[in-house]
Structure 1
Amino acid sequence: MPALEQAATAAPATVGFIGLGTMGLPMARRLVEHGYTVRGFDPVEPARAALAAAGGVACASAAEAATGADAVVTMLPDGAVVRAAMLDGPAAAAHAMRRGAVLIEMSSSAPLATRALGDALAQAGIAVVDAPVSGGVRKAEAGTLSIMAGGDLDVIAQVRPVLRAMGSNLFETGALGSAHAMKALNNYVSAAGLIAACEAIQIGRAFGLDPVVMTDILNASTGRNNTTENKLKPFILTERYDSGFGLALMTKDIGIAAGLADALDRAAPFSHAVADFARQALERLGREADHTAVDRYLKLLNGERDAG
């Protein structure tokens, strides 16, 4: 039985975890709580210290985190950062991974780049599963993320216990790269709903409708979506704009979806329109803005007072 599959009944398996940010740290903590030996690396020292405080092993490089690991999880900003962490220089993780180990790539990355990374790592005997997540920080902390998994079915089965420690819903999506494609397309659909909801609320308010009543009607009607249910009242109507998911990340994911359409020679005018809107909002609001701040951007376009 592979080490990863016996973690619940025998000696804990070892998992390297690269990227201990807003999502990565609570995900790594869940693995510690499930009995895995977690060797973690992040360039930010407080993140490494937080993992050590939770019972993990803080490491000084990606290679050190990968040493002796049955699997290595990457939770990084994009595919280029993942490739660098895995392959670039003597501190890269792939140089320390044994043949037969598995990379679980949980970042939001471009699917074609993921396939190229898989080809590169295959030469070293390292299999890759792309396994991006949906659900945000609260679900990461609770271990109830939705996880999409692409790659060889036998490899996914080998790492399924690791994924189950971090998520309550696991969807097998097909060949390597398919999960990253699904994540980008999901986030594009979510972003389109966000922008539409914010526009509708602002138009309705200008006409004299009560935004709270509008939200209740949307949620009882066909306009209901993730934004109307979970973001309008707590983050947008209050102008808090602090849901915990960055506008820069949303913009990146929409761009991946639009780029995938281009690579497949598919006409996708609306995805490009949403991508253009998101890029313009990001340029105006800055990289620290929350994705719900697209509402603020719409107000600025209409000449309203800057919501701050």
Structure 2
Amino acid sequence: MAGMISPPAAIAFIGLGKMGVPMAARLIGAGFTLRGWDLAPPARVAASAAGIPLGASAAEACRDAAAVITMLPDGKAVRAALEDPAVVAALTAETLVIDMSSSDPLGTRALHAALAARGIALIDAPVSGGVSRAIDGTLAIMAGGEGAAIDRAEALFAAMGKHIFRCGPPGAGHAMKALNNYVSAAGLVAAIEAVAVGARFGLDAATMVDVLNASTGRNNATEVKLKQHILSGGFGSGFSIGLMAKDLATAGALAEAIGVEAPLAAEMARRWRAAAADLGAAADHTAIARLILPQA
């Protein structure tokens, strides 16, 4: 297998949404030669305005690239992009494919096997931290795949993330991301429900948050979501309720597929699916508070 991918190597970045653009910009800032692509014309316009060089097509972006990074809505979109005949023709045995999307881990295992049959290495490396940490390059990156393949991506990951975790074999990164978001989503709902109960009893919501953050109830929601995005009424964390519902469905489906009873995960998947239907998939995920807190 080829060695570490270092600047100024050519990198294709497929998927230029809210997360993709700042992640691509970090790679450019680190000295990589980047070509981006997105199926959506408005995304391409926005990416170009942000200084991201674009290929004329996904295949053109991938041609001669040392690595192809995908940052797409789900594993089905990733597979569709990588199975496009023109993209297939552009990939070689020297190309490292890195799926940084939040994909289904079992689907990732199948895609890994399909690419391996063509001599192409795939690692899954989803991220956590949101847009703000994508901008400043401090994302948490959860990598799954063969160690030698992950070794090749170290400089790429270092440009985009602060905490890089080797989670295990193919699909392990995607499993970890889904389970992380399950814990995050459950903690957010618990925190909002606690505030709803306390407010009805007569407690001040802001004081409750302060107490939680000084006590054992502290979690990501109490620290960076309740005051900043919910009590403020801003609902602008940058991560949609539809994507959270998708990740919760992935976590629940994984538990079921491998025979682990996880009733809370199933309930969270149901609840977030219903919230996405009520509020619209594009709503910020913190807007679930509107269904729990009357004043939100």
TM range (shorter): over 0.9
CA contact (8 A) 1:29 1:51 kept: no
Hey, what does 1:87 align to over in structure 2? Answer: 83
Quote the RMSD (CA, aligned, Å). 1.6
2:111 to 117, 122, 125: 117
Show the 5 A alignment for 1:53-72: 53=49, 56-72=52-68
1 CA distance for matches of 2:113 and 2:99? 14
Question: Deviation of residue 45 (structure 1)?
Answer: 2.9
Classify the secondary structure of the residue corresponding to 1:170.
Answer: strand
1 CA distance for matches of 2:241 and 2:44? 25
2:266 to 255, 268, 272: 272
2 CA distance for matches of 1:283 and 1:165? 37
Hey, what does 2:187 align to over in structure 1? Answer: 193
CA contact (8 A) 2:130 2:237 kept: no
Question: Deviation of residue 98 (structure 1)?
Answer: 1.5
Hey, what does 2:251 align to over in structure 1? Answer: 257
Q: Give structure 1 stretches of 5+ with no counterpart.
A: none
CA contact (8 A) 1:20 1:47 kept: yes
1:173 to 167, 172, 179: 167
Hey, what does 2:149 align to over in structure 1? Answer: 155
2 CA distance for matches of 1:17 and 1:289? 26
> What percent of counterpart residues are identical?
53
- Cα distance 1:52–1:285, how it changes in 2: closer, same or farther (>3 A)? closer
Classify the secondary structure of the residue corresponding to 1:252.
Answer: helix
Hey, what does 1:207 align to over in structure 2? Answer: 201
1:136-192 CA-partner distances (Å, limit 9, x unpaired)? 001101111110111000110011111111111100001000000000000000000
2 CA distance for matches of 1:55 and 1:67? 20
1:226-267 CA-partner distances (Å, limit 9, x unpaired)? 000001101111222121110001111111111000011111
What is the letter of the counterpart of residue 189 of structure 1?
Answer: V
What is the letter of the counterpart of residue 269 of structure 2?
Answer: A
Show the 5 A alignment for 1:1-308: 2=2, 4-7=4-7, 12-53=8-49, 56-88=52-84, 90-91=85-86, 93-299=87-293, 304=294
TM-score by length of 1: 0.92
Question: Deviation of residue 52 (structure 1)?
Answer: 4.1
TM-score by length of 2: 0.96
Question: Deviation of residue 30 (structure 1)?
Answer: 0.6
Q: Give structure 2 stretches of 5+ with no counterpart.
A: none
Moved more, 167-176 or 231-240: 231-240
For these two proteins, the number of residue pairs brought into alignment is 296
